[in-house]
Amino acid sequence: MEIFKEFTFESAHRLPFVPQGHKCGRLHGHSFKVAIHLSGEIDASTGWIRDFSEIKAIFKPLYEQLDHNYLNDIPGLENPTSEVLAKWIWQELKPLLPELSAIRIHETCTSGCIYRGE
């Protein structure tokens, strides 16, 4: 069984390693959506894999770092592509959420990535 909890946050960033003149090299922002996926067995006593409120509480410190901030200033996000962001969130959450199975990032309505800890 797999569950997920979604969050949205607003952040600014620029991609420092794109070719000169690339639009993503300029400072810009996104309304990011992140989904935290957990896989596991349903607990017989609670009826769930993990309480959604626990996922929210565990993600809160990361949310506060990301929301309305400049991603490039966050250690580990100096080149904040969606792929790098997904991997960074995974590395921060996996020790706290052993059931973590995927991080899904949408940087726009039509573009994003999924990281499964590969």
Show which residues are catalytic. 24, 68, 107
Is residue 13 annotated as involved in ligand binding? Answer: yes
Sheet of 69-70, strand order: 69-70, 2-13, 28-39, 100-106, 112-115
Is residue 106 annotated as involved in ligand binding? Answer: no
Is residue 22 annotated as involved in ligand binding? Answer: no
CA–CA gap between residue 66 and residue 30 (Å, rounded): 11
- Number of other residues whose CB lies within 10 A of the CB of residue 78: 13
DSSP letter for each residue of 57-101: HHHHHHHHHHTTEEGGGSTT-SS--HHHHHHHHHHHHTTT-TTEE
Which residues participate in the annotated binding site for Zn(2+)? 13, 28, 30
